[in-house]
């Protein structure tokens, strides 16, 4: 493997030479600087680099090129090197191009030609792209090998953990020849899956999620035992709080038990988020927020499950499932909600083996030419139906209500109506699931007629209700009868402050019944269940944290 590559693409020979010259002057000792005169020529170069196993750090492409413009090229380049950072070169203030670049290829930066002096207009942008690439998982672990069973719940959880945390991996089925050879080489049996092999040759047999996260380079241990702010939960609200907390000078750590992004991170495309008129995938949004939080100095701890919150004077202490603890002056609870269990005969035993909660995008390829059933009537279910319709022969969306309008955004309802292989079934629920080692059939119940029908299905995705992850807070903060956490005015029953409240003031708007513990996003009682509002609450919570810390 050679030095990592910086690639520039421009059909103007003078501009192409200037870009390469400026890049070599600053980065030539550590990186190879390559240039191409067209999109097709650059793609040929990228394919050769891929075959040789070389790494591509960043690609700078001119927008206006013949044959293939910069956006079209960057979109194809993403398929070859998805973690390479991307910049668009343009001599025009082209708003349409900017919007398309953000939404189609998740461009990292724009450079207006000319960029003189490069010390002010070129190098700072490229420095940021290099730093982002270095922090991305594949800069540490380039080729994790995962051996597992197709219909194994632990194997699915391992794949899902890697995919949702943007860790590249190669999947091998234990039922196929190459998978069996890897098991034999690792002196493992089919009962030891999932089997993980790192590029350094480290072998893990049936690892825990924390063990898997640690070996692939994800952060699982805190650098300190005390912080200004601990954020619990890595969805939009938690990421918003981490970005604003760290950017405003608070020593901040975010704790997440699975992967950053939360339920929103599993959405194939969010189309009503401000500033993204063509939509943005949940994973792209989560990746940008994750990088932004790290840029400002926030720590991100993954696969850490909080089991208790304690108050010791002005100190707030979180206790983890493994017995570890972490303390802070203030806490933001942004734990979100979990999809409610389907709760029908057969479903629990088939979870991860045909029955999935959330989008489970790692299953998309396996749905090719299959029948897919999606349960739910809100936006997350609609987005999943649109996504899986690209792969499946047919997608059947089950809604227990008489219409989608009560719970789904209008734009999604229109999209679903326009997709020929999506079928919406109202007043319909799942009564039972069937299968031996994996899902094979689903029994449906029509609430209007009371009739049951059993249909073949290998994939069932569940998006029903939302249960807050707050049982570990029982007795510490006030919760409502559904487990959501009231804050601010919601705590002032009959004008009285909550029991045990020791301060002379009322709780702040997002403050729980325990001073210094704030709540943001879906877990907060009466919150608006939208990505934009969750991000806004995360930011607002940090403002209130500052106010609280100023009282001490």
Q: Are residues 207 and 318 in the same domain?
A: no
Output the pLDDT for position 64: 83
Q: What are the contacts of 275-284 at 24+ separation with CB within 8 A?
A: 276/102, 276/103, 277/99, 277/103, 278/99, 278/100, 278/103, 278/104, 279/103, 280/102, 280/103, 280/106, 283/164, 283/166, 284/106
Q: How confident is the model at residue 114 (pLDDT cuts 50, 70, 90)?
A: confident
Q: Are residues 19 and 128 in the same domain?
A: yes
Write down the mean pLDDT value for the chain: 90
Q: Are residues 443 and 483 in the same domain?
A: no
Output the pLDDT for position 105: 61
Whether the pLDDT of residue 79 is over 80: the answer is no
Output the pLDDT for position 141: 39
Q: Give the domain-ending residue among 135, 152, 170.
A: 135
Q: What are the contacts of 548-551 at 24+ separation with CB within 8 A?
A: 548/330, 548/508, 548/511, 548/515, 548/516, 548/518, 549/228, 549/329, 549/330, 551/503
Q: Are residues 29 and 99 in the same domain?
A: yes
Tokens of 241: 């709080």
Q: How confident is the model at residue 103 (pLDDT cuts 50, 70, 90)?
A: low
Q: What is the pLDDT of residues 31-74, one digit of tens each?
A: 999 999 999 999 989 888 875 768 899 999 988 888 888 888 98
Whether the pLDDT of residue 1 is over 70: the answer is no
Q: Are residues 208 and 265 in the same domain?
A: no
Q: What is the pLDDT of residues 460-487, one digit of tens each?
A: 999 997 899 899 999 999 999 999 999 9
Least confident of 198-207, 233-242, 293-302: 198-207
Q: Which domain covers residue 261, as residue numbers?
A: 226-338+467-550
Q: Is residue 278 part of a domain?
A: yes
Query: pTM score, two decimals?
Result: 0.76
Q: Is residue 396 part of a domain?
A: yes
Q: Are residues 458 and 473 in the same domain?
A: no
Of residues 435 and 181, more confidently modeled: 435
Whether the pLDDT of residue 213 is over 60: the answer is yes
Q: What is the pLDDT of residues 406-438, one digit of tens each?
A: 999 999 999 999 999 999 999 999 999 999 999
The count of domains in the chain is: 4
Q: Is residue 221 part of a domain?
A: no
**CATH at 51:** 3.40.50.2300
Q: Give the domain-ending residue among 430, 462, 494.
A: 462
Please give the average per-residue pLDDT across 216-231, as a whole number: 95
Q: How confident is the model at residue 140 (pLDDT cuts 50, 70, 90)?
A: very low
Closest CA to 382 of 236, 279, 257, 455: 279
Please give the average per-residue pLDDT across 280-300, as a whole number: 90
Q: Give the domain-ending residue among 135, 165, 188.
A: 135
Secondary element (H or E) of residue 110:
strand 109-112
**CATH at 280:** 3.50.50.60
């Amino acid at each position: 493997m050679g030095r990592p590559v910086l690639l520039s693409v421009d059909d103007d020979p003078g501009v192409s030479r200037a870009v390469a010259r400026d890049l070599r002057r600053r980065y030539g000792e550590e990186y190879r600087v390559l240039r191409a005169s067209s999109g097709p020529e650059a793609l040929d170069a990228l394919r050769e680099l891929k075959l040789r196993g070389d790494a591509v750090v960043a690609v700078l492409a001119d927008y206006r090129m013949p044959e293939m413009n910069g956006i079209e090229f960057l979109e194809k380049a993403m398929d070859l090197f998805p973690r390479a950072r991307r910049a668009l070169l343009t001599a025009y203030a082209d708003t349409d191009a900017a919007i398309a670049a953000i939404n189609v290829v998740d461009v990292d930066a724009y450079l207006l030609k000319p960029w003189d002096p490069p010390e002010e207009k070129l190098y700072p942008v490229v420095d940021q792209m290099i730093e982002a690439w270095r922090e991305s998982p594949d800069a540490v672990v380039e080729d994790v090998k995962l051996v597992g069973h197709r219909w194994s719940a632990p194997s699915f959880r391992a794949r899902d953990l890697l995919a949702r945390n943007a860790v590249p991996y190669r999947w091998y089925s234990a039922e196929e020849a190459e998978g069996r050879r890897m098991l034999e080489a690792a002196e493992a049996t089919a009962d030891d899956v999932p089997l993980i092999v790192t590029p350094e040759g480290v072998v893990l047999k049936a690892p825990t999620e924390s063990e898997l996260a640690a070996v692939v380079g994800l952060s699982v241990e805190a650098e300190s035992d005390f912080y200004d702010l601990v954020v619990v939960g890595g969805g939009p609200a938690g990421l918003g709080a981490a970005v604003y907390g760290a950017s405003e000078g608070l020593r901040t750590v975010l704790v997440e038990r699975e992967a950053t992004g939360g339920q929103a991170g599993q959405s194939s495309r969010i189309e009503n988020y401000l500033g993204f008129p063509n939509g943005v995938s949940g994973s792209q949004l989560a990746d940008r927020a994750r990088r932004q939080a790290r840029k400002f100095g926030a720590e991100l701890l993954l696969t850490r499950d909080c089991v208790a919150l304690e108050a010791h004077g002005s100190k707030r202490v979180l206790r983890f499932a493994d017995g570890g603890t972490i303390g802070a002056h203030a806490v933001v609870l942004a734990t979100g909600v979990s999809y409610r269990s389907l709760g029908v005969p057969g479903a629990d035993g088939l979870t991860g083996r045909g029955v999935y909660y959330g989008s489970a995008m790692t299953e998309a390829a396996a749905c090719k030419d299959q029948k897919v059933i999606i349960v739910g009537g809100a936006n997350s279910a609609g987005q999943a139906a649109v996504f899986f319709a690209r792969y499946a022969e047919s997608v059947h969306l089950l809604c227990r209500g008489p219409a989608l309008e009560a719970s789904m955004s209008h734009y999604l309802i229109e999209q679903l109506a326009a997709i020929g292989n999506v079928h919406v079934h109202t007043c319909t629920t799942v009564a039972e699931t069937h299968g031996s080692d994996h899902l094979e059939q689903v029994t449906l119940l029509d609430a209007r007629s009371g009739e049951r029908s059993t249909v073949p299905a290998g994939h069932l995705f569940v998006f029903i209700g939302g249960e807050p992850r707050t049982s570990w807070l029982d007795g510490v903060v006030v919760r409502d009868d559904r487990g959501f956490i009231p804050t601010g005015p919601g705590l002032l029953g009959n004008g009285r402050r909550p029991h045990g409240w020791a301060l002379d003031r009322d709780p702040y708007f997002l403050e729980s019944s325990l001073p210094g513990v704030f709540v943001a996003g879906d877990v907060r009682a009466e919150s608006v269940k939208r990505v934009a509002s969750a991000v806004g609450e995360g930011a607002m919570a940090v403002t209130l944290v500052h106010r609280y810390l100023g009282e001490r």
